[in-house]
Amino acid sequence: MNCKYFKTRKKDNKKERRIYNYCTINRKEITYDNCKKCNKCEIKIKTPMKKRSRKLNMKENNRYSIIYQDLTKCAECGSKIGIEKNEVFEGAYRQTSIKFGMVVPFCKKHHRHFHNDIIFNLKYKVIFQKQFMKNHSLEDFIGIFKQDYIYLLNKRKRG
């Protein structure tokens, strides 16, 4: 709860034993829903947005790719319109992708394709895994990205 007047209290006596919510401005019990509707407390403390560090922004702006020299051109179709730089390994591996230059430029259409088509997605992961393995071992790759995408793509293709 973001309201600073919204407290959780505990009744623990002979008659009652329960946990309830209490509003210190209305001086009475309140439910979570009623607190949300109430506008007496103009100071609803908002959960502060986590500020992105300057260092992180720098890193993201300086994204490079170990494969694509020109990051303003879609890797798939060569279009120069609406290009976004995508980390090849998403989620928990986003920052690691940036660190190792696992970045691919896509137009809007192929960006969507990348997220919706598993084979297309794996195809790019494999391209980058192979490039990475020119200077590192498979064990190195799996140590960092926890998967062998070459194996995964082959498995998919075999059905």
Based on CB atoms, which residue is closest to Zn ion, 3 or 107? 107
Half-sphere exposure (Cβ direction) of 154: Cα atoms closer than 13 Å: 4
74 binds Zn ion (CB under 5 A): yes
77 binds Zn ion (CB under 5 A): yes
What distance lies between CA 141 and its chain's CA centroid? 21
Phi and psi, residue 81, nearest 5°: -100, 130
Closest CA to 42 of 5, 93, 1: 5
Closest CA to 119 of 148, 153, 88: 153
Question: Are the C-beta atoms of 73 and 80 separated by less than 8 Å?
Answer: yes
Between residues 104 and 153, which has the closer beta carbon with respect to Zn ion?
104
Q: Which of 5, 65, 76, 93 binds Zn ion (CB under 5 A)?
A: 76
- Contact call for residue 122 and Zn ion (CB under 5 A): no
- Among residues 100, 102, 110, 149, which is the contact residue for Zn ion, using CB under 5 A? 110
**Shortest reach from residue 81's CB to Zn ion, in Å:** 9
For residue 123, give every residue at least 6 positions away whose Cβ sits within 8 Å of its Cβ, in sequence order, or none: 153
Query: What residues from 80 to 109 belong to the interface with Zn ion (CB under 5 A)?
Result: 107
Site string for Zn ion, 29-68 (x = CB under 5 A): ----------------------------------------
Residues that bind Zn ion (CB under 5 A): 74, 76-77, 79, 107, 110
